[in-house]
Each structure stands twice: as C-alpha cells, then as structure tokens.
Amino acid sequence: MKKKLSLFLALLLALTLALTACGAKNAGGVASDQALWNVGNGNAAPGSTGGSQEAAVESGGGDVWEDATESVGNAIKPQTSLAEKIIYSADVTVETVDFDEALESVDRLLEKYGAFLESSSVSGKSYAETYYGTQTYRMAQFVIRVPVTSFKDMTADMGTVGSVLQSSVYTDNITERYYDTQSRADSYRIEQERLMDMLEKCETVSEMIEIESRLSEVRYQLESLESTLRNWQNQVDYSTVNVTLREVQEYTKRVEVHRTYWQQIGDGLSNTMKNIGDFFKDVFKWLVVNLPTLLLLAAFLGAAAVVIAALVRRSRAKKARRESQNGRSDTE
C-alpha cells in the first residue's frame, strides 16, 4: 500500500513539473512575440516604460533591433538607402569666327566623351549672300546626349569649340517619383501573376472573361509604367547638353559687370558710331551691287522725261496756233 502511494506521488510530482515547464515556455514565447510586435510598431514592451526604449534607440538601438530580427530568423531587416535618380541637363551658347572648325570641334568632343547626337540642325548661306554679297552668319543647334559621368567635363570643355557666351546647368531629382513608380509597377506585376494563376483555375466562361478583362488592364498599366521607368533611367544615365553655335564676325566683348557712368556713355557712343558706319557701308555696297539696275532705270526715266517734254511742247504749240487763228477770225 505504501509502495503504491509513493509511486502515485512520484507520478504526480513529475506531471506537475512538466506542466510548469510548458507554461513557462509558452509565456516566454508570448512575451517574445509581444516584444517583436511592439518593436515593429514603435511601442514599449509590456511592463517597461517608453523612455527606456527611446533611450535604447537614441543610443544606437542596435540591441533592440537585432534581438527582434533574430527572433524571426532575420525576416525583418532595416531598409537600405536607395540610389538617387537625378537628371542633369545644360544649355550652352557658343560663338565662333570659324564655323567649319567649330563643327569639327563638336565632333571631336562627341568622340572624346562617348556622346552622341540626338538631333542637329545647321543653317546654310542665304539667298541674299549668294546673289547680292550681303553678309549673313550661319547657326547650328545640337542636342547632345553624354554619359552622366562625363557631363561635367564635357560642359566645361565647350570652350574648345568657341567663345562660350552663356552656360546654364539644371538638375531634376526624380528619386521619389522613380521609386514610387517602380513600386506601382511591382504591384501590377504581382497582380498579373496572380491573375494568370486564377485564369488557369477558373471553371466558368464568365469568370474567365472577367479575369482576362482585368488582366488586359493590368498589362496596359504595367507596360506604361515600365516605359516611363526606362525613359527616366535613360535620362539619368545620359545627360542632355543643348548647344547653340553662332557664327560671328568678331567675338562679343566681355565688359566689366560694374561700369561707371562715363564708361556707359562711352560704350553707347562707340556703339552708335559703329552702327552709323555699318549703315553707310551697307548703303554704299547696295549702290555698287545695284548700279546696273539703277543705270537702266535712270536711262528709262530720262527717255520718258524727254518724250513727255516733247509732247508738252507740241501741245503748247498747237494751242498757240489755235489761239492765233481764233484772233485773226475775230479781227476780220
């Protein structure tokens, strides 16, 4: 009887110890899950103060985050920094007295920096210059795409083409828009995969039509977003340089930014005298070029004046004779 009682007490004690261990383990697991939830939502763990958690974060926060990630097998990881997406562009105006050499310089820059021409236009000689000798100046416009790593160097090297009259650089940070669009594209891509799976499992025609309709819309949106991303990435990888090349007789003088009152008057008088001289030179050139036409016109006008004068004299003579005859008739 005593042996049975001892065996019963031993089994009861073993069962009690096992239940106690399981309860402790479950409590620890719940506490761990609660701690993970609180860390992910920025709340303090039960039984602790918010100030202690903030202090841990401010002092580095490493232990809190590492404990949380380790408890779920490193499933939670901090977000890594994203590469910035910045579009660079520039507008450059260049003057040159040797237009043909300047065009060759542009070609050399393209080869040097691995750039290419997206578009170009060159204006040739005009009708007035070809037939009348009037001086006209050529102009060229280029849209150059250059690798972003060479953008700064190429822009600075525009001085080898001619005299840089104006240069402006612009930046457009599209990082937020780019990754927002990328996230939307990823969402549509996941939805497309799910719709494909649903399409394989659908059993009725109506379900198939509804899924295919949505799938077509998702594909359209996805293609549009992917096209936008490719276009943006192309602009990020290859910067744009807009070049305006002008042919001039002489380079524009670079004057001081701050000119005195008398210096400004002197500049104005100098420009006025130059304009007057250019005007008379153009008038003289026009007279020389059009001299044959002017001589023919003068001869025609002279002949016309002689004919008109003769007609006037004849008319006057007839009138005088008529008056003379009328006077004789009255006398008789």
Rg (CA), the chain: 47
The per-residue pLDDT for range 167-181, each reduced to its tens digit, is: 999 999 999 999 999
214 CB contacts (<8 Å, ≥6 apart)?
Answer: 195
Q: Name which of 176-190, 203-217, 281-295 the model is least confident about.
A: 281-295
Look at residue 51 and tell me whether its pLDDT is greater than 80.
no
Instruction: Match 């210096």 to its residue by tokens.
Output: 263
Rounded CA separation 150/234 (Å)? 15
Can you tell me the mean pLDDT for 62-66?
A: 33
Stronger pLDDT, 117 or 281, i.e. the higher one: 117
The per-residue pLDDT for range 228-263, each reduced to its tens digit, is: 999 999 999 999 999 999 998 887 776 556 778 787
Kindly list the strands in the beta sheet with 139-147, ordered across the sheet, starting from the edge strand earlier in the chain.
116-123, 139-147, 238-247, 86-96, 163-173
Q: Which of 3-12, 19-28, 132-141, 323-332 has the highest mean pLDDT?
A: 132-141
- The pLDDT, as a whole number, for residue 315 is 84
Can you tell me the mean pLDDT for 207-234?
A: 93
Nearest to 237 by CA among 87, 109, 104: 87
- The pLDDT, as a whole number, for residue 328 is 64
What does the mean pLDDT of the chain come to? 76
Q: DSSP labels for 41-107?
A: HT-PPTTS-HHHHHHHHHTT-HHHHHHHHHHTTS---PPPPPPP-EEEEEEEEEEES-HHHHHHHHH
Instruction: Match 């009708």 to its residue by tokens.
Output: 127
Backbone angles phi, psi at 252, to 5 degrees: -65, 130
| % the chain with pLDDT above 90 | 40
Q: Which of 15-19, 95-99, 124-128 has the highest mean pLDDT?
A: 95-99
Rounded CA separation 147/235 (Å)? 9
- The pLDDT, as a whole number, for residue 265 is 85
172 CB contacts (<8 Å, ≥6 apart)?
Answer: 86, 87, 89
Look at residue 83 and tell me whether its pLDDT is greater than 70.
yes
Residue 208 CA, chain-centre distance (Å), reads: 44
Confidence of residue 17 (pLDDT cuts 50, 70, 90): low
- The pLDDT, as a whole number, for residue 279 is 83
